[in-house]
Amino acid sequence: MTTTLTGASIIAGEAVEGINGTTRAIDPSTNTPLEPEYSKLDSTQAQQATAAAAAAFRDYRATTPQARAAFLDAIAATIEGRREQIVERAMAETGLPSARLTGEVGRTVGQLRLFAGVVREGNFHGARIDPALPDRSPGPRLDIRQRRVPLGPVLVFGASNFPLAFSVAGGDTAAALAAGCPVVVKAHNAHPGTGELVGQAITEAAAESGMPAGVFSLVYGSGAEIGQQLASDPVISAIGFTGSRSGGLALADTAASREVPIPMYAEMSSINPVILLDGALSSEGVGAQGLAEQFVGSLTGSSGQLCTAPGLVFVPEGEDGDAFVTAVESGLEGRPGQTMLTPGIADAFAQGVSAVEDQQAVATVARGVAGEGENAPAPVVFSADLAELRSNSVLSDEVFGSASVIIRYSDIGSLSEALDELEGQLTVTVHAVDADTPAAEALLPTLEDLAGRILFNGWPTGVEVGHAMVHGGPFPATTAPATTSVGSLAIERFLRPVAYQAVPAVLMPEPLQDANPWSLVRQNDGVIAKGQ
Amino acid sequence: MTTTLTGASIIAGEAVEGINGTTRAIDPSTNTPLEPEYSKLDSTQAQQATAAAAAAFRDYRATTPQARAAFLDAIAATIEGRREQIVERAMAETGLPSARLTGEVGRTVGQLRLFAGVVREGNFHGARIDPALPDRSPGPRLDIRQRRVPLGPVLVFGASNFPLAFSVAGGDTAAALAAGCPVVVKAHNAHPGTGELVGQAITEAAAESGMPAGVFSLVYGSGAEIGQQLASDPVISAIGFTGSRSGGLALADTAASREVPIPMYAEMSSINPVILLDGALSSEGVGAQGLAEQFVGSLTGSSGQLCTAPGLVFVPEGEDGDAFVTAVESGLEGRPGQTMLTPGIADAFAQGVSAVEDQQAVATVARGVAGEGENAPAPVVFSADLAELRSNSVLSDEVFGSASVIIRYSDIGSLSEALDELEGQLTVTVHAVDADTPAAEALLPTLEDLAGRILFNGWPTGVEVGHAMVHGGPFPATTAPATTSVGSLAIERFLRPVAYQAVPAVLMPEPLQDANPWSLVRQNDGVIAKGQ
């Protein structure tokens, strides 16, 4: 089934033509604009989306687990049914290859289905029951029960680098809908057509599933104007954002300075340190050569435009480290760049690379070649020593794209100190064999304080969507280190606990009823028990 | 056992004389200063406390559950052993009666022991395991595990109205220590001696239990200077605050505008609406007369200086409502005020009462009489209609102390609209009998969106410390509605999740080891299972 792109916003199921100018996608491989034109909403039009979300909130949050899960499944099925059209449009808008985007469709629908399962399972209600103790001394205890309720309408800003999995029906949208929150998505202007296709799929799924129309809206407009307006709107109760540090911080300021401040979940900036330990480099297994090949693959995949791309690699001084550097050099030689997402991102990459290159104590290890077409700059790897990293903040600024800095270190003590000085990260990676265990053990507390995900003997790119995943981390990786934007724990972003004290049985919400009609795992007087 | 007050700060187990002036407690019943003088730290001295906390963090968070729980139990036992001295000093510093303070000691030690139990039980680790799926198609899944780790050193600002349960060893301190975070307490200048006695108890317990000395410090100084400095200190990773809206917002601004913003958990302002439904008022059970007596008791206890005091009572128009108002009138007549906590709080109460009194559409229902001694103003109850409440924000400002406004309403629809317009609250209370069920049911979603705790047929004062309690709520009740400051869920404030991907078994933290040595309840591939 193929649908037609209209170039309009979708507010509570209706197409709305904006009256505030237009915008178009650009094919970054050719710098040519794509049809159709997307009309941008003015502030009065955009406000209709939040009003519709507010109007839908209480009906939506009252939906049964079955109905809400079916809605999420219906979104997944509708997107899946249009995979080819979505992939084709996303290729034109982002320059990303077909295989990557096909995989991203799979991830997006898998994510929606994961949250459907979370809704059916119901652990997220966080049900707790402290039974009455009428005979307790010195005073009786009343019956007190706790569950989590949804916060209210959520505003989502998607990312340019994941036009599906972190965009209109991405992780924040799936988690918020699962929690019982209506969603207003500010469409990303770099992939408006992909966004509309997915927005249409959600809209159709909502109608089919009997959801209130205001449960979802997709709004086209200027981020600085309409985005900020939506973030300030009194009915919005939380914001999910994936993107640049400057964009995230501007929205975080808005969220904090509202009359009623709201949680702002921004995933922003990370350089994802990778630590190669001696044993791993000299191992007869993967070794220096294999690690270098893996590194180049991880760095250049998706043109390095991944939040978890390895921007900093710590390599020990000595022969094995030298062998790694040499292998990176030959691995990158002649390697062509791939099209980046937008001309603006390609420009920012060029500037970031220049800034690093301009540092006196930085050497260029290797550089590939520009790829075919526009906006396909050469991947590049620099090197510097630990002292330079510690004294020069340019080396720890994120350069979004295929650029990385190799840092040579002499001993675990000074490596550990340097890691303690880094800003918060989404990930930190260690390559280690058995012989490296003492070093890895010494580093572990540092790694835990540094990042949201610690991984061994792999590469940080590629984020599994599951129950145990954390895609988050200390500032500036995110503005909210206690949460994750990927995986089932993300639903907690959009919930808050409410206690029910001596509430009559007839009024008690299902998750807290004595009969436990939803068969939830609940905490009874501090003890977790299933189906009681 | 009696200890001597030194008038000094306690930094990492050592008494530190401040060099930045002095402050003294004042007995509010006589306006006379109390010995000893407390010396205030200058900024260099205060910084020693955060440095010590930072130095202690990794050792402290590596303590076993048994050791950490024993430390919390030792604090409780040490405080309990000095109950008489603590109560005596607190009476002099706060004007609160002996029975109330004795009860508060019990609550404080009970809270510490609750968290000791939480540490032993270990659910707070939030352990999740997604096992590897090597044969999954299209690609294998790696082993990914998740647990929560402590944020880092926590700064606590106690409240004047709970010199024990929300102060030096109060809920925030207990939750942070349980989570594995060292604590720096900015001592409240209204009860410095009570604070020191409790601070000494924690210090001794830390030494006895073999904890690193920097796990706890108690700092005397100016809130605007040293308090703000501590809140800006780079090593502080979260702030707990209970107090005024202005104080909380100032600290929230500081927390948000740091180079690295941190979570700021402020509990600030709440007027705790109470809704009387028709049936409850006309019931042959408690009825109008009984409800009025309960209301006056809840309003005047602790001189109304409770975060959950009933500042707004919705009463239906008609005879039964009139009977309630008349009974409040006679219940309050001649009732003496009790000493307030400080001269400043008594002044603020007088100003708040004047502001309400000055409103044209507000009537004074009843007023008690001033109590004996200083700072014991008369309790007072006003009334106004629903339209006035909705148009005049003075009526929904918190007046801290025994002052409340009765609002007469004509129907559930307009009551519900008025409730939807109120700011966020800690609590909302409904008095209802069976006949009121349809009205209560209609109101329930509104109540859930309004407050952190919904209670029926009781009064909001008195907060049970348990697993299901929520002492929190939407802004401005708190700055962080997703958490609670009372009850075992509070530990989550001071934790963040970390994912461990393909981490070798030998490096895996205990909560995530295959053998589950701490016998935790864990989530395995999305399914909660005990001791696996």
Tens digit of each residue's pLDDT (9 = 90 or more) over A103-146: 999 999 999 999 999 999 999 999 999 999 999 988 899 999 99
What rounded mean pLDDT belongs to chain B?
Answer: 97
Segment A507-524 shows an average pLDDT of 96
What is the per-residue pLDDT across B196-221, written as a single tens digit (0 to 9) for each? 999 999 999 999 999 999 999 999 99
Segment B90-113 shows an average pLDDT of 97
What is the per-residue pLDDT across A255-273, written as a single tens digit (0 to 9) for each? 999 999 999 999 998 999 9
Pair B255, B106 in one domain: yes
Residue A2 has a pLDDT of 78
Segment B50-54 shows an average pLDDT of 98
Closest CA to A443 of A422, A411, A414, A416: A416
Residue A113 has a pLDDT of 98
Pair B283, B257 in one domain: no
Which residues 64-103 in chain B show a CB within 8 A of chain A? 103
Beta pairing partners, B478: B267
Pair B23, B169 in one domain: yes
Residue A531 has a pLDDT of 58
Residue B531 has a pLDDT of 59
Q: Assess if residue B4 is contained within a domain.
A: no
Which residues 243-262 in chain B show a CB within 8 A of chain A? 252, 256, 260-261
Structure tokens at A246: 């400057």
Q: For residue A220, count CB atoms less than 10 angstroms from its CB and return exposed for 0-12, middle for 13-18, buried for 19 or more.
A: buried
Pair A252, A280 in one domain: no
* B523/A142 touch (CB, cutoff 8 Å), yes or no: no
- For residue B53, give the H/E element and its range: helix B43-61
Question: Which among B181, B196, B307, B398 is annotated as catalytic?
Answer: B307
* B528/A523 touch (CB, cutoff 8 Å), yes or no: no
For residue B425, the domain's CATH number is 3.40.309.10
Q: Assess if residue A61 is contained within a domain.
A: yes
Q: Assess if residue B1 is contained within a domain.
A: no
Select the residue of B451, B472, B526 nearest A121 (Cβ to Cβ).
Answer: B526
Question: Which among A104, A307, A374, A388 is annotated as catalytic?
Answer: A307
Q: Assess if residue A246 is contained within a domain.
A: yes
A33/chain B closest Cα distance in angstroms: 35
Q: If you count residue pairs, one on A and one on B, with CB atoms under 8 Å apart, how many are there?
A: 222
Pair B223, B294 in one domain: no
DSSP-derived secondary structure letter, A378: P
What is the per-residue pLDDT across A50-91, written as a single tens digit (0 to 9) for each? 999 999 999 999 999 999 999 999 999 999 999 999 999 999
Question: Which among A267, A374, A388, A398 is annotated as catalytic?
Answer: A267
Give the integer Cα–Cα distance in Å for B435 and B455. Answer: 17
> Is the predicted ipTM greater than 0.90, yes or no?
yes
What is the per-residue pLDDT across A145-177, written as a single tens digit (0 to 9) for each? 999 999 999 999 999 999 999 999 999 999 999
Pair A264, A277 in one domain: no
Closest CA to A156 of A98, A216, A240, A77: A240
For residue B211, the domain's CATH number is 3.40.605.10
Q: Assess if residue B423 is contained within a domain.
A: yes
Q: Assess if residue B477 is contained within a domain.
A: no
How many domains is chain B partitioned into structurally? Answer: 2
Task: Confirm whether B204 is a catalytic residue.
Answer: no
What is the per-residue pLDDT across B280-314, written as a single tens digit (0 to 9) for each? 999 998 999 999 999 999 999 999 999 999 999 99
Select the residue of B423, B474, B488 nearest A526 (Cβ to Cβ).
Answer: B488
What is the per-residue pLDDT across A393-418, written as a single tens digit (0 to 9) for each? 999 999 999 999 999 999 999 999 99
Segment B77-87 shows an average pLDDT of 98
Pair A177, A304 in one domain: no
A1 falls in which pLDDT band (50, 70, 90)?
Answer: low
Structure tokens at A520: 């939830």
- Coil, strand or helix: which one is B451? strand
Chain A interface includes B275 (CB < 8 A): no
Pair B259, B283 in one domain: no
pLDDT at B532 over 60: no
* B497/A470 touch (CB, cutoff 8 Å), yes or no: yes
* A448/B498 touch (CB, cutoff 8 Å), yes or no: yes
Which residues 450-469 in chain A show a CB within 8 A of chain B? 451-458, 464, 466-469
Give the integer Cα–Cα distance in Å for B199 and B142. Answer: 47
For residue A445, is the peptide bond before it cis, meaning its omega torsion is within 30 degrees of 0? no
Pair B325, B188 in one domain: no
In terms of residue numbers, what domain contains A449? 273-456
Strand pairing category for B312-316 and B273-276: parallel
Residue B138 has a pLDDT of 85
Pair B182, B283 in one domain: no
Q: Assess if residue B66 is contained within a domain.
A: yes
Structure tokens at A126: 């966080």
A438/chain B closest Cα distance in angstroms: 9
Closest CA to A236 of A50, A62, A59, A61: A50
Contact residues, chain A, for B484 at CB < 8 Å: 497
Select the residue of A456, A498, A502 nearest B457 (Cβ to Cβ).
Answer: A502
Residues 6+ apart with CB under 8 A from B22: B7, B37, B38, B39, B40
A483 falls in which pLDDT band (50, 70, 90)?
Answer: very high
What is the per-residue pLDDT across B351-365, written as a single tens digit (0 to 9) for each? 999 999 999 999 999
Spell out the alpha helix ranges (H) of B370-452.
386-391, 412-421, 437-450
Q: For residue A224, count CB atoms less than 10 angstroms from its CB and return exposed for 0-12, middle for 13-18, buried for 19 or more.
A: exposed
Task: Confirm whether A267 is a catalytic residue.
Answer: yes
Residue B530 has a pLDDT of 66
Residue B282 has a pLDDT of 96
Pair A256, A277 in one domain: no
* B128/A468 touch (CB, cutoff 8 Å), yes or no: yes
B145/chain A closest Cα distance in angstroms: 5
Segment A498-510 shows an average pLDDT of 98
Give the integer Cα–Cα distance in Å for A376 and A337. Answer: 5
pLDDT at B17 over 50: yes
Residues 6+ apart with CB under 8 A from A84: none
Residue B289 has a pLDDT of 97
What rounded mean pLDDT belongs to chain A?
Answer: 97
Give the integer Cα–Cα distance in Å for B233 and A337. Answer: 43
* B455/A501 touch (CB, cutoff 8 Å), yes or no: yes
pLDDT at B150 over 90: yes
Select the residue of B106, B142, B504 nearest A458 (Cβ to Cβ).
Answer: B142
Which residues 332-361 in chain A show a CB within 8 A of chain B? none
Upper half-sphere CA count for residue A141 (Cβ side, 13 Å): 17
Contact residues, chain B, for A153 at CB < 8 Å: none
Upper half-sphere CA count for residue B88 (Cβ side, 13 Å): 6
CA B381-B382-B384 angle, to 5 degrees, is 150
A529 falls in which pLDDT band (50, 70, 90)?
Answer: confident
Q: What is the DSSP string of B187-254?
A: --TTSHHHHHHHHHHHHHHHHHTT--GGGEEEE-S-IIIIIHHHHH-TT--EEEEES-HHHHHHHHHH
At residue A21, what is the residue type? G
Select the residue of B458, B470, B503 nearest A454 (Cβ to Cβ).
Answer: B503
Closest CA to A461 of A267, A307, A338, A245: A307
What is the per-residue pLDDT across A485-496, written as a single tens digit (0 to 9) for each? 999 999 999 999
Give the integer Cα–Cα distance in Å for B173 and B485. Answer: 10
Q: Could you tell me if A487 and A107 are in contact, meaning their C-beta atoms sit under 8 angstroms apart?
A: no
Sign of CA dihedral B25, B27, B30, B35: negative
Select the residue of A146, A445, A476 nearest B470 (Cβ to Cβ).
Answer: A146
Which residues 137-156 in chain A show a CB within 8 A of chain B? 138, 141-142, 144-146, 149, 151-152
Q: Assess if residue A255 is contained within a domain.
A: yes
Residue A532 has a pLDDT of 44
For residue B316, is the peptide bond before it cis, meaning its omega torsion is within 30 degrees of 0? no
Pair B229, B354 in one domain: no
Contact residues, chain B, for A272 at CB < 8 Å: none
